[in-house]
Structure 1
Amino acid sequence: MRLLHVISGLDPEVGGTSQALRTMIQGFSQHAVINEVVSLDDPQAAYLRDTPFMIHAVGPAKSAWQYAPEFLPWLKKYLQNYDAVIVHGLWHYHTYGIYKVWSQLKADKPALYVMPHGMLDPWFQRAAGRKLKAARNWLFWKLVEHKLINSATGLLFTCETEKIMARKPFRPYSPKTENVVGLGVEYPPVFTLEMQETFLETCRGLTGKFLLFISRIDPKKGVDLVIKAYRALKLSGVDLPQLVIAGPGLNTAFGQEMVKLAGDDKAILFPGMLSGNAKWGAFYTCEAFVLPSHQENFGIAVVEALACFKPVLISDQVNIWREIDNGDAGLIGEDTEEGVYNLLDRWIKMPAGQKKQMELSARRVFDTHFTVSQASKNMLRVLNQNVPVIN
């Protein structure tokens, strides 16, 4: 099968959708699937170099809507060459373009699926500070998005919670099919001392045990809650491990605000974005992973932590919290300062033996729910219903 993925951009610093797509393609490569991507990226973008799959970059895109004038002509010329299309994400020009061209096809019409990656979550419509974006989404929904969602062959969701939440914020909402296919994460490389050494070189000031936050430094991720709860616990006299807050966005206004929030506490470290050996060294050597997001569709970093045998301390707004809670692979709390305070406090007070057992449970939950192989099979099972040429 020849499969086309449509996405607004592949910049890894923008969000998890691009990483999810890369992992998905890796899983499909084990099957009889030819993967190609069309994106609105600048074809000269550094992050597109040495990518192990075919990318048709038709940008650079302009404006917040990511308008790219070469996108429609490309689709009109090539769309019928594919057996199926998966549209990743919403609210940008790529959804308008794909619907416009696909809906006008009379013959050789490929199956069309939309994978929202959490972008239909009602949080985005009600969160403080998002009134203008919420109004914009309503406008886009009325003009474009509902046509795509309700006309496509079906929707693809990463988990049951995402599917349920997607039904709430917009009307008319009547997709032809709703398919929970999951999302996989590759098995991490085996731990080496080089990983630990690379991480320690990157994270200057680390002297012992630590809790790890890896994500974009963004208000949605709850990093302010982590810092406030951590400092409050220390003031109460609790002996805490160090706290490492890693990820892109440190140079933004919010990122600098978080540095100020940490104050002169030398136990809170900001190494910036981690990748390669430094990232895996952080995962493998931390005590536990912390991510109290206000909204998290899947949480690739959460699953990567599980794969490295690390318990996760997350909010109940991370959509995969049920699988983690049922598998005793971490602790779940509310996305409030009090909720995160209690999460950290519960972890610190947990007996060493119970923590060790939770490490084993973390890997077991990963093996059961979140491998690339399992997600790929689920996805192909759905695509197979409308693309009979799949082997």
Structure 2
Amino acid sequence: MSTELPMRVLHTIHSLDPLHGGTSYGLRGMVEGLLKKGIETEILVLDNEARPWLAEWPCKVHAAGCGIGRFGYNKKFDAMLARIVNSFDLAVVHGLWQYHGLATRRECLKAGVPYAVFPHGMLDEWFSKVYAWKHLLKQIYWGCVENKVLRDAAVVFFTTDDEFEAGRDTFSPFAVRPAIAPFGIQPPAHTTEEFSAGFHRRVPGFFGKRTLLFLSRIHPKKGCDLLIEGFARWHASLPPESQNDWHLRIVGPSDSDDFLEHLRSMAATHRLAERGLITFVGNVGGEDKWQEISQADALVLPSHQENFGVIIAEALACGVPVLISNKVNGWHAIQESGAGLVEQDTVEGVVKLFQRWERLTADAVTSMRRAATQYFAGRMSSDVGAQAFCSIVQDLETEKHPQRFSTEVEAHTRSRSERA
């Protein structure tokens, strides 16, 4: 199907609440990119119709209401999906382990409408190692339901090669038709300079500071504890005359009051807050978010697991280099492009990130900022993501289906090769 011809795409997702993380932000970028290409796009979601964030979307949103528990079972979702699915050329499931995926598979198979799946990093083996008991429950559900959702999809979209490699051996059986299609975002409406000036008007006292910014959900997988410990160790090694030049700003909603209190306690132990070296901000959105990013010296994200990382795309869109761990999918390309620095997801790795960043010359920083902007334009904009998605869907229409990948077939092939 030519991407210039009319096409209708329905996205199904558990929630569009921005507090749930980057998936809703990434989906917004994808929707905006598809709309620019003339592709009619709607969303069916398990949110209550009155939720304020639904009115902010640029496309029609069908709100079925919240389902039961975190799984989200909802008969109204079934009825709405059955009523509208025939009017679309393709359905796209966002996320795993919840009812909307099961329902979308069932109704699409009934209606003869092809569907695709974006796992959004939810197959990553990190979760199985850290939450072993949850992994056992998921393996049971996988065997009964979830593997069929991916198996019967026309295509399963991974945002990077790293995401596919990190998830293909986590559950068994595993059979998908994989394709790579990055999520993307729209660039900010104003220039970095305008947003930065707005930040300093809104938050006086930071002008001249070299701010290291963490902006994401405050969650153990994000490496927030490594960040605070690593910052404290690195900062203590700086010459006294330059120590007041630096500030760590932690911005984002917390999944757990206990974990947030633990981080505050760590900061207090190192006297970071007392000396004015760290600020916990809480959640921000809209222009305030872009202001936070634009004024930063660098974005720091030492995650133990990170899929696409919408905040990384947002930072690069503002020309802000990223200091990340090698557990962030796509880190190879970011490192090779010169748009950021990469180290291990350990305290020592965080210290090295800060050391390497602090030692860069002004010219090197300028070059990295330029590389960040170029990387965003070439790999993480909504236009790039939408084009990749459309190209793959066009191949589906011409029956050029992605080759099915199966861990069982791969193991059998490897075994035969080894015997030979």
Question: Is contact 2:28-2:57 (8 Å) kept?
Answer: no
How far 1:205 moved relative to its partner?
Answer: 5.5
8 Å contact 1:222–1:292 — kept in the other structure? Answer: yes
Once the 2 structures are TM-superposed, how far is the Cα of residue 320 of structure 1 from its aligned partner?
1.4
Cα distance change on mapping 1:251 and 1:159 into 2, 3 Å:
closer
Contact in 1 for aligned 2:222/2:305 (Cα 8 Å): yes
Please name the residue that 2:114 is paired with.
111
Q: Aligned to 1:334, which of 339, 344, 351? A: 344
- Does 1:17 find its partner at 2:27? no
Question: Is residue 247 from structure 1 mapped to residue 256 from structure 2 by the alignment?
Answer: no
Secondary structure, in 3 states, of the residue corresponding to 2:41?
strand
Higher helix share: 2
1:181 aligns with 2:172: no
The answer (yes or no) to whether the contact 2:11–2:93 under 8 Å persists in 1 is yes
The answer on whether the counterparts of 1:250 and 1:272 sit within 8 Å (CA) in structure 2 is no
Provide the secondary structure at the position in 2 that maps to 1:113.
strand
Distance 1:160 1:102 in 2: 27
Kindly indicate whether residue 391 of structure 2 is the aligned counterpart of residue 381 of structure 1: yes
The question of whether the paired residues in 1 share the 8 Å contact of 2:317 and 2:376 is answered with: yes
The reply to whether residue 100 of structure 1 matches residue 110 of structure 2 is no
Normalising by structure 2, we get a TM-score of 0.87
Aligned to 2:161: 160
| Partner SS, residue 19 of structure 2 | coil
Alignment match, 2:407: none
Amino acid at match of 2:389: M
For 2:90, the equivalent position in structure 1 comes to 84
Q: Structure 1 CA distance, aligned partners of 2:24 and 2:282?
A: 19
Partner of 1:60: helix, strand, or coil?
coil
- Root-mean-square deviation (CA, aligned residues, Å) is 1.8
AA aligned opposite 2:222: K
Residue 147 of structure 1 is matched in structure 2 by 148
SS in 2 for 1:13: helix
Name the structure 1 match of 2:215: 214
2:301–2:325: 8 Å Cα contact kept in structure 1? yes
Given the alignment of the two structures, is residue 44 of structure 1 paired with residue 50 of structure 2, yes or no?
A: yes
Maintained 8 Å contact 1:312/1:329:
yes
Give the superposition deviation at 1:58.
Answer: 0.6
**Equivalence map 1:294-305=2 (5 Å):** 294-305=304-315
Q: Output one character per residue of 1:229-278: Cα deviation in whole Å (capped at 9) or x when no partner.
A: 11112223454511111111187221222122211422101121222222
1:124 is aligned to 2:131? no
Distance 2:40 2:151 in 1: 27
Please point out which of 328, 351, 361 is paired with 1:351: 361
User: Structure 1 stretches of 5 or more lacking a match?
Assistant: none
Matched-pair contact (CA < 8 Å) for 1:113–1:152:
yes
Normalized against structure 1, the TM-score is what? 0.93
Residue type at the aligned position of 2:181: V
- Displacement of 1:310: 1.4
Structure 1: distance between partners of 2:397 and 2:45: 23
Give secondary structure in 2 for the equivalent of 1:42. Answer: coil
Runs of 4+ displaced beyond 6 Å: none
SS of aligned partner of 2:300: strand
1:88 Cα deviation from its structure 2 partner? 0.4
Distance 2:105 2:172 in 1: 18
| Distance across 2 between alignment mates of 1:237 and 1:198 | 30
Post-superposition Cα deviations, 1:283-302, rounded to whole Å, max 9, x if no partner, equal: 22211110011100011111
CA–CA distance in 2 between the matches of 1:269 and 1:219? 18
CA distance in structure 2 between the partners assigned to 1:301 and 1:188 by the alignment? 12
Query: In the TM superposition, what whole-angstrom CA distance separates every residue of 1:184-203 from its partner, at most 9, and x where no partner exists?
Result: 12122332666335434655
2:321 equivalent to 1:321:
no
Identity among equivalent pairs (%): 34
Q: How many residues align?
A: 382
Q: Which amino acid aligns with 2:182?
A: G
CA contact (8 A) 1:191 1:281 kept: no
Determine if contact 2:317/2:373 at 8 Å carries over to the other structure: yes
Please give the alpha-carbon distance, in whole angstroms, between the structure 2 residues aligned to 1:359 and 1:196: 15
> Does the 8 A contact of 1:329 with 1:362 survive in 2?
yes
SS of 1:24's equivalent? helix
Cα distance in structure 2, aligned partners of 1:277 and 1:182: 24
